[in-house]
Structures are given as structure tokens and as C-alpha cells.
Amino acid sequence: MEVLGTPSSDTVDMNGSVIAFVLAGVVGATMAWSLRHRRVVVTADEIAATLPWFAVIGIAVAIGRAVPVSGLTAGFLRSPTVYLVVGALVAGLWVTLDAVDVNDTSQWTAASGVLTTIAVGGGSLLMAEALQLRVLAWNAVSIGLAIGITALVLGTVLGGQRTAHGWLSGSVLFAHVLDATTTGVGLERLGMSERNPISATVIQMGDGIGPSGVILFLLVKVTVAVLVLSALDSDADRAGRETVGVLVIAAGTGFVPAVHNLALFTLTIH
């Protein structure tokens, strides 16, 4: 039987998503204009300090998928709107710090990102019906595996060399490895399915040629991360804004789905 009212509910959700996207875009553009108007110079350190904010995006998207919300609220929690929202928050933070003449902007940016991640993550736990120790344990396993694999690749493939990219190099690799390990845990141990069509295709190809498609997915993620790091100039004394921007985006594309996986497992598996 068809449920009456479903089309109108879908229309309301669609309208909410459009309105949320427009509002986020307007606020983001206003913050960008304010930065330019105040002649705020965004340094490489400040760009690097935005990395913790990608975790906020991952958790927010997971909340949007796991918690029954609709309308404008749901719109703000959907991609790409949530990227605009977080970007506007960071830009607004920089405008505020400039207005009150704070010098250590990068430290404030990183610290506020960490605190916001903790606040949003902690708030999401209150929305969970029940926390399953099994899920938390497998989340811990995926993080531990990611740390171990990252250390192994850094020490072998990359030769343990310290580059001008510093800790960002390790962050790029760790983010993509964590995406692979959380995906593997979700598929192999927690009964989840892969929603990303590209990732799903890679995993299906791996299933066809080996015992587990997750292994191929991990190899692809590691290869992409290593290629990105190898393509950047490591001879410079200090990475410039463009290089740092590429590294942060590269790391963010791994951190967002990885953190999303961890949060989604916690919120949806009962």
C-alpha cells in the first residue's frame, strides 16, 4: 500500500535542502567577503590548522543519515551543504580573531576544531539508542590497524623521510588508510554496505580476484596517498600555502568518510 503524504514529505525535504544550501552559501560568501574586506591574510599554518574541522563534517553527515531529522535541519546536515556550513564557521572564526587582534590564529583554529569535534561527537552519542561495546571495539580495531599500516608505509614505502610537509604527510596517508580500515570493518564485521559507487566498484573487483575486495581497496587508497605525496615538492624548506592546501584537501577526503564511518557505526548498529 502506498503511504499517503510521502510525496509532500519528500518535497518538504527537498525544499529544506535547497534553502539550507542557499543560506549556507550566502553566509559563506559573506564571511569570505569579510576576510577580503579586512585584508586578513590566511597563512599556510592556518590552512593546515583546519584539518580537525573535517572530522566535524564527517560526524555531521553521519548524524544526518542516522537520526530522523527533516526539513531545514536535515538540509544543513547533507553534503555539500555541510561543507559550506563548516567553511563559513572557520571563516567567521578568522574574522573574529582578526577583529580582536589575536595573533596565534592557527592554534585557535586547530583547538576550536578539536573542541567542536568533541562537542558534536559527544552530542551524537546522546542521540544513539544504545552504545554497543562490540561496535566500539571494532571501531578501536580499525583505528589501531590504520595507525599500524600508516607507520609501516611511512617506514618502508616512503623510507621514513621527513619532508617539508611535516605531519601533514602522515595525516594524508593515515586518513586514507583509516577510510579503508573502517570500510573493511563495516563490511566484514558489522554488516554494513558501501554507498559510494566508486569504492563499491573497487571492492567488487577485489572480490573477483582475491579473498577480499577490502584488500584491493586498501591498496588503492595507500597508492593514491603515496602518489599525492610523491608529486609534491619535498625539497622546499617550508611548504607554501598551495602545497598545504592540497595536502589538507587530500587528507580531508580521507578523514570525512573515515570519521563518518566510525560515527555511523556507533549511531546505527544496535
In tens, the pLDDT along 253-266 reads: 999 999 999 999 99
| Planar angle of CA 135, 114, 161, nearest 5 degrees | 90
Q: What is the pLDDT of residues 214-225, one digit of tens each?
A: 999 999 999 999
> Lowest mean pLDDT: which of 37-41, 158-162, 209-213?
158-162
Residue in the structure block whose three cell numbers are 546536515? 77
Torsion sign across C-alpha atoms 197, 199, 205, 211: negative
- In the structure, what pLDDT confidence band is assigned to residue 211 with cuts at 50, 70 and 90? confident
Q: Is 32 helix (H, G, I), strand (E, B) or coil?
A: helix
Grid cell locating 149 = 599500516
- Whole-model pTM? 0.90
SS3 state at 13: helix
**Residue 10, pLDDT score:** 53
